[in-house]
Amino acid sequence: MSGDGDLRFPDGFRWGVATSAFQCEGAAGKPSSTWARWEALGHVRAGNRSGVACNWWLDAESDFDRARDLGLNQLRLSVDWARVEPVIGRFDDDALGRYREMVVALRDRGIEPMATLHHFDQPVWLEDMGGFENPAAVELFVRFTERVLEAVGDVCRDWITFNEPNVYSTVGYVIGDFPPGRHGDTRAALRVQRNMARAHARAYALIHAVIPRAFVSWTQHLISFVPDRPGHRGDEWAAKLSDRMFNRPFLEVVADGRSAGPPGLRIDVPEAKDTCDFVAVNLYGRRRVRFSVREWRAAFNRFAPPAPDAPRGDPGAEEKFGEPYPQGIRALGAWLGRLGKPLVITENGYADALDRVRPGVIAEAVRSMHSLLERGFDVRGYHHWTLADNFEWDAGWDLRFGLYELDIATQERTPRRSAQLYGEIARANGLDRETLVRHGVEAPS
Ligand code: BGC
């Protein structure tokens, strides 16, 4: 690759895919977890059930083969706490053994594992004690982390403690679509984030004590909020407030030991200061914000639909994610400058069964990361969400994020055109114009 405008990446750049345990392993045959219970109670769209999902509990290895064949060199997966500790204080060595098998299987394929300790799902016994609203969750998380480290600490260097504390707390305690299904309880969402920050800080220290070269972070979901009516003071104010309340607090806690804001409405966890080795960002969409007094509990924010000419994925995707906006990666420079750490995009993608917008999303993400590299930022890797369609939380099987299409009845996978494109990018460690033209993707800006 050498032409003008071709995008080369530094040697050793990580091209990966991100996944999570519940979404790929499903609820079938597993000890009760909050999501297994939530779907059994009928809270998932159209009553969908996860079943065995992508069948990873029995066979993740075939998908690991696919990742290797695409030329990927990293895969992010999570450890399911409910499988590992089905009853408080009782650890299941077979479950830990299965996770070790998975991590080793990745390494055998030349794929570096990145393990997430908490990706939304958790044991029901924890939820029934108040989950992360209860300060006791901190010690319990630390004990769980210790056991996971004993099982895989020698074969895994890259770690994520918590996946998206901002999504977990907002969707579970303010919007109500995730368990425990609370509405408008902003204070509870703050308590949850506070305890997660404490648990993160403890787990960060513990992982480093066991694995001196560990590379550890949490993942931060970032949404680009823009006023629906540019120049409208209410919309502009509400967009800023959403950014402040959703995007910033956890990042600020890790940067400064506390978030901005008045006492009572901020997160003060001094021991969390500087507890990350990289900034891990999950980024999907841009949302248009309209000021609405009736939405006072949700930062006065009533989401407006994307512009009519915005790219569209699966029906309903825009309601949840706004429009696809990988360009948001460029604006991360400011955050990066602030923390002075390397950046890894730990999730990016879009729900798009027909694969009409995904190739453009991938190409633009590559372009955006490259522009950050050109500006001197230390971008280390990119994980596409996700390898094969998996169980999309409260949207069940309705939203399809996979590079591979999954037939849930037969477990057959069919590569979408994006799989080809992403594989070529990973193998070339970059992207050239000819590849874009061959895949019929518009040259990114
Ligand atoms: C979550 C994933 C989820 C993806 C798409 C992220 O917020 O970490 O578990 O599937 O978004 O909704």
Kindly state the average pLDDT of the residues 393-401. Answer: 98
Spatial distance between the Cα atoms of 369 and 333, rounded to a whole number of angstroms = 10
* Residue 3 predicted with pLDDT over 60: no
Q: Is 221 in the pocket of ligand 1 (CB under 6 A)?
A: yes
Residue 444 reports pLDDT greater than 80:
no
Nearest to 63 by CA among 406, 351, 387: 387
Cβ neighbour number for residue 29 with a 10 Å cutoff: 12
Name the CA radius of gyration of the chain, rounded: 21
pLDDT for res 2? 46
User: 282: CA distance to ligand 1 center in Å?
Assistant: 8
With a 6 Å cutoff on the Cβ, whether 167 touches ligand 1 is: yes
- CB of 384 closer than 6 angstroms to any ligand 1 atom: no
Half-sphere exposure of 190 (CA within 13 A, CB side): 18
Q: Whose CA is nearest to atom 10 of ligand 1?
A: 392
As a whole number of angstroms, the distance between CA 174 and CA 217 comes to: 25
Output the pLDDT for position 443.
54
The residues pairing with 282 across neighbouring beta strands, listed in sequence order, are 221, 347
Query: Using CA atoms, how far apart are residues 360 and 225, in angstroms rounded to an integer?
Result: 21
Q: Is 352 in the pocket of ligand 1 (CB under 6 A)?
A: no
Q: How far is the CA of 332 from the centre of ligand 1 (A)?
A: 19
Structure tokens at 47: 């009553």
163 Cβ closer than 6 Å to some ligand 1 atom: yes
| Buried residues in 42-52 as b, exposed as e (16+ CB within 10 A) | ebbeeebbbbb
Give the pLDDT confidence score for residue 302 in this predicted structure. Answer: 85
| Pairwise CA distance, residues 394 & 126, whole Å | 20
Question: If you search the block for the tokens 């609820």, which residue do you land on?
Answer: 27
What is the per-residue pLDDT across 298-327, written as a single tens digit (0 to 9) for each?
A: 788 888 888 889 999 999 999 999 999 999
Rounded Cα gap, residues 108 and 403, in angstroms: 22
Strand partners, 399: none
170 lines ligand 1 (CB under 6 A): no
> What pLDDT digit, counting tens, does each position of 323-350 carry?
999 999 998 777 777 788 999 999 999 9
Test site for ligand 1: of 393, 397, 398, most ligand atoms within 8 A of the Cβ? 393
Closest CA to ligand 1's atom 5:
392
- The pLDDT confidence band at residue 228, using thresholds 50, 70 and 90, is very high
Residue nearest to atom 3 of ligand 1 (CA): 392
Number of other CB atoms surrounding residue 389 within 10 Å: 24
CA–CA separation, 327 and 372 (whole Å): 11
Q: Which atom of ligand 1 is nearest to the CA of 351?
A: 5
pLDDT bin (cut points 50, 70, 90) of residue 116 is: very high
For residue range 177-213, what is the model confidence (pLDDT) as tens digits? Answer: 999 999 999 999 999 999 999 999 999 999 999 998 9
383 lines ligand 1 (CB under 6 A): no
Atom from ligand 1 closest to the CA of residue 395: 12
Which atom of ligand 1 lies closest to the CA of 401?
5
Specify the residue for token string 């300060």: 135
Cβ 347 under 6 angstroms from ligand 1:
yes
- Residues 265-308: tens digit of each pLDDT: 899 999 999 999 999 999 999 999 998 888 887 788 888 888 88
- 432 within ligand 1 shell (Cβ under 6 A): no
Residue 3 CA to ligand 1 center (angstroms) comes to 36
The tokens for 338 are: 């602030």
Contacts of 361 (CB under 8 A, 6+ apart): 324, 326, 348, 349, 350, 352
Ligand 1 atom nearest to 321, measured from its CA: 12
Ligand 1 atom nearest residue 20's Cα: 9
Question: Is 56 exposed, middle or buried (CB count within 10 Å of its CB: 0-12, 13-18, 19+)?
Answer: buried
Q: What is the pLDDT of residues 135-173, one digit of tens each?
A: 999 999 999 999 999 999 999 999 999 999 999 999 999
Residue keyed to tokens 């995904």? 358
Give one DSSP letter per residue of 264-320, joined into a string: TSS-B-GGGTT--SSEEEEEEEEEEEEE-GGGGGGTTEEEEPPPTTS---STTHHHH
C-alpha 385 – ligand 1 centre gap (Å):
8
Rounded CA separation 40/35 (Å)? 8
Instruction: Please check whether residue 92 is in contact with residue 84, taking contact to mean a CB–CB distance below 8 angstroms.
Output: yes
Q: What letter would DSSP give residue 402? A: -
Expressed in angstroms and rounded, the spacing between residue 434 Cα and the centre of ligand 1 is 32
What pLDDT, on a 0 to 100 scale, did the predictor assign at position 371?
94
> Separation of 44 CA from ligand 1 center, angstroms?
15
Alpha-carbon distances, residue 329 vs 264, 317, 384 (angstroms): 32, 20, 13
